[in-house]
Amino acid sequence: MEAKPYVLKYGEQYLRSNKGTGSVHLTSRLVEADHFKSQKSARIFVRSLMANSKGYMIDSKIKVNNVKIFQ
């Protein structure tokens, strides 16, 4: 049995990132969202967004402090 991946949600939408450009956007489609194998790896990604927000092009609608991790 395969474990369900973890995803990041902001409100009713999911976060997706473009690794090539470093941009982070919202999507309503779960299939487009970033998927993480563990809660720990999802948490590390959120922390990196908080600590290095200038290194990412984060959609202005996203308040990183309000991002939640779901499985």
DSSP string, the chain: -PPPPBEEEETTEEEEEETTTTEEEEES-GGGS--BSSHHHHHHHHHHHHHTGGGSEE-TT--GGG-EEE-
Taking the domains of the chain in order of start, what are their residue ranges?
1-16+59-63+67-71
Give which of 11, 1, 2, 9 is closest to 30, Cα–Cα. Answer: 9
Write down the pTM of the prediction. 0.86
Residue 67 sits at φ, ψ, to 5 deg, of -75, 135
> For every one of its 71 residues, what pLDDT tens digit does the chain have, with 9 covering 90 and above?
678 999 999 999 999 999 888 899 999 999 999 999 999 999 999 999 888 877 789 999 999 999 999 99
Find the DSSP H helices in 8-54.
Answer: 39-51
